[in-house]
């Protein structure tokens, strides 16, 4: 049975974490951590997914190289600078791994490296190198919160979760931290996400599970339609739970994948709900589709529409924008069969039936759309497949945040 527990990335056996302020960004507050370290007591099987943006930050290429052998010991990450599209970016990403290795007694190739922040400015590598002994000394079993804080940029809340579940009669734990608030569009796995588990699983099965789950979770999030240069999602599995090695797509594999999907879905919703300037989480659930792929495409188009997002901000039941977004999604559907309703904790209201508008209570609709979480429910009445995607409303604050992001 799967249940949520405390501990974040330190919940699984053998993992420690830490986060400190080292001054990556000169203007940052001393109260804001900006350097994170996660380390396992044992070598881990590792798998990752990355951004599909053709412009990739140097840490992604370094991580790809370090994970060619399918193993790693830990993660080093910073906020305050993306280390992308700037002089010495590759050398500085490697230097972060060297510093982490020297501070922990490992090799540079043992580390995944990730950065997040402003693009195009050379990273303050000397601050990171100076802070590495301190963050390594701070590694402990309660350090997930500090590490989660260290990877936040415009995030307003930390994203952290842990679960326990059973594999082959053994209790297995999985924990994660993530960051993401802006420059988010489904095209990879996530913004930055680090997942740890004490499960015993082969690299092939770990990678297969991650890629399956990413398609149904992180790739269904959109905040602003921009795909970041730095998106990275990494899973480390150190086998310390003592379960039988997962080598095949059997019952144990399905239990592991279920837990991974639970964790990634939680983080996906948290990222969408914390979109830059957002005041509400917007979910589009498309049901009655001929295929999951078409349901997903339709749902993504709706939550990604700037006009739909603006209507959600204004709590305006402008359902015509929903059909409009569906119409340019390039997914096949019959508009004359579509029902649309708005749902929240304040109730549900049907606004469109078989492609035509209904007379409805505008005040009730506004009350429903004024809640912190809103669902746009679309029924195609064409099949048995469904999908849901997550986004947020588009507020004045999004423009304010991104109008002076560098300063």
Domain boundaries, the chain: 3-273, 281-403
Contact 113, 82 (CB under 8 A): no
With 60 as the cut, is the pLDDT of residue 187 above it?
Answer: no
Both tokens assigned to 165: 């579940």
Q: What is the SS3 assignment for 186?
A: coil
Lowest-confidence region among 81-90, 188-197, 355-364: 188-197
What confidence category does residue 223 fall into, taking pLDDT thresholds of 50, 70 and 90?
Answer: low
Residue 219's pLDDT is what? Answer: 86
Rounded to the nearest integer, the mean pLDDT of the chain is: 92
With 80 as the cut, is the pLDDT of residue 126 above it?
Answer: yes
CB contact burial 188-201 (16+ within 10 A = b; e otherwise) = bbbbbbbbbbbbbb
Q: How far apart are CA 212 and CA 253, in angstroms?
A: 12
What confidence category does residue 69 fall into, taking pLDDT thresholds of 50, 70 and 90?
Answer: very high
Residue 401's pLDDT is what? Answer: 64
190 is catalytic: yes
The architecture of the domain spanning 281-403 is Roll (3.10)
Residue 327's pLDDT is what? Answer: 97
Both tokens assigned to 155: 């995030």
Residue 388 phi/psi, 5-degree rounding, is: -135, 145
DSSP-derived secondary structure letter, 30: T
Residue 81's pLDDT is what? Answer: 93
DSSP-assigned letters across all residues of 66-106: HTTTSEEEEEEEESSB---SSTTHHHHHHHHHHHHHHHHTS
What confidence category does residue 236 fall into, taking pLDDT thresholds of 50, 70 and 90?
Answer: very high
Residue 277's pLDDT is what? Answer: 66
- Sign of the dihedral through C-alpha 393, 399, 405, 407: negative
Residue 101's pLDDT is what? Answer: 98
Q: How far apart are CA 169 and CA 80, in angstroms?
A: 43
Q: How far apart are CA 375 and CA 343, in angstroms?
A: 5
Both tokens assigned to 365: 């609709």
Residue 118's pLDDT is what? Answer: 86
Q: How far apart are CA 276 and CA 278, in angstroms?
A: 5
State which H helix or E strand residue 357 sits in.
strand 356-357
Q: What is the SS3 assignment for 25?
A: coil
- Sign of the dihedral through C-alpha 300, 301, 305, 307: negative
Select from 282, 316, 244, 249 the least CA-distant residue to 388: 282
Decide: pTM greater than 0.95. Answer: no
The residue ranges of DSSP E strands in 51-110, in sequence order, are: 71-78
Both tokens assigned to 133: 């002994």
Contact 186, 231 (CB under 8 A): no
List of residues 6+ apart from 82 with CB closer than 8 A: 57, 115, 116, 117, 118, 119, 229, 230
Q: What is the SS3 assignment for 120?
A: coil
Both tokens assigned to 295: 């349901």
Q: pLDDT by residue (tens digit) across 259-315?
A: 999 999 999 999 887 766 678 999 999 999 999 999 999 999 999 999 999 999 999
Residue 152's pLDDT is what? Answer: 92
3.40.50.11270, 3.60.70.12, 3.40.1500.10, 1.10.1060.10: which CATH number matches 3-273?
3.60.70.12
Largest CA distance in the chain: 69
Q: What is the SS3 assignment for 406?
A: coil
State the catalytic residue, choosing from 49, 153, 190, 197: 190
Q: How far apart are CA 237 and CA 361, in angstroms?
A: 52
How much is the average pLDDT of 130-147? 98
């Amino acid at each position: 049975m799967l249940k949520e527990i405390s501990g974040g990335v330190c919940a699984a056996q053998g993992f420690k974490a830490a986060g400190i302020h080292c001054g990556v960004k000169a203007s940052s507050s001393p109260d804001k951590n900006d350097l994170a370290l996660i380390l396992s007591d044992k070598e881990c099987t590792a798998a990752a997914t990355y951004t599909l943006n053709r412009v990739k930050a140097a840490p992604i290429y370094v991580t790809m190289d370090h994970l060619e052998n399918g193993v790693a010991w830990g993660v080093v990450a910073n906020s305050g600078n993306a280390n992308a599209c700037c002089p010495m970016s590759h050398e500085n990403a490697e230097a972060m791994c060297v510093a982490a290795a020297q501070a922990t007694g490992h090799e540079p190739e043992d580390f995944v490296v990730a950065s997040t922040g402003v693009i195009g400015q050379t990273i303050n590598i000397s601050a990171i190198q100076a802070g590495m002994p301190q963050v390594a000394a701070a590694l402990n079993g309660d350090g997930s919160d500090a590490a989660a804080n260290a990877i936040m940029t415009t995030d307003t809340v930390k994203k952290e979760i842990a679960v326990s579940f059973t594999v082959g009669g053994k209790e297995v734990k999985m924990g994660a931290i993530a960051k993401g608030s802006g420059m988010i569009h489904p095209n990879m796995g996530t913004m930055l996400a680090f997942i740890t588990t004490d499960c015993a699983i082969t690299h092939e099965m770990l990678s297969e599970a991650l890629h399956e789950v990413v398609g149904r979770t992180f790739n269904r999030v959109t905040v602003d339609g921009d795909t970041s240069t730095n998106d990275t999602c990494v899973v480390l599995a150190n086998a310390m739970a003592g379960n039988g090695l997962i080598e095949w797509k059997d019952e144990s594999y399905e239990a592991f994948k279920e837990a991974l999907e639970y964790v990634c879905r939680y983080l996906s919703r948290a990222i969408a709900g914390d979109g830059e300037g957002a005041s509400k989480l917007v979910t589009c659930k498309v049901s009655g589709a001929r295929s999951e792929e078409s349901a997903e495409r339709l749902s993504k188009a709706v939550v990604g529409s700037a006009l739909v997002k603006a209507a959600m901000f204004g709590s305006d039941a402008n359902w015509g924008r929903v059909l409009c977004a569906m119409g340019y999604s390039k997914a096949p559907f019959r508009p004359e069969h579509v029902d649309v309703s708005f749902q929240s904790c304040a109730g549900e209201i049907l606004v469109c039936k078989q492609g035509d508008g209904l007379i409805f209570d505008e005040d009730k609709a506004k009350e429903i759309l004024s809640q912190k979480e809103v669902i746009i429910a679309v029924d195609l009445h064409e099949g048995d497949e469904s999908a849901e995607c997550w986004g947020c409303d588009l507020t004045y604050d999004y423009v304010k945040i991104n109008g002076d992001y560098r300063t």
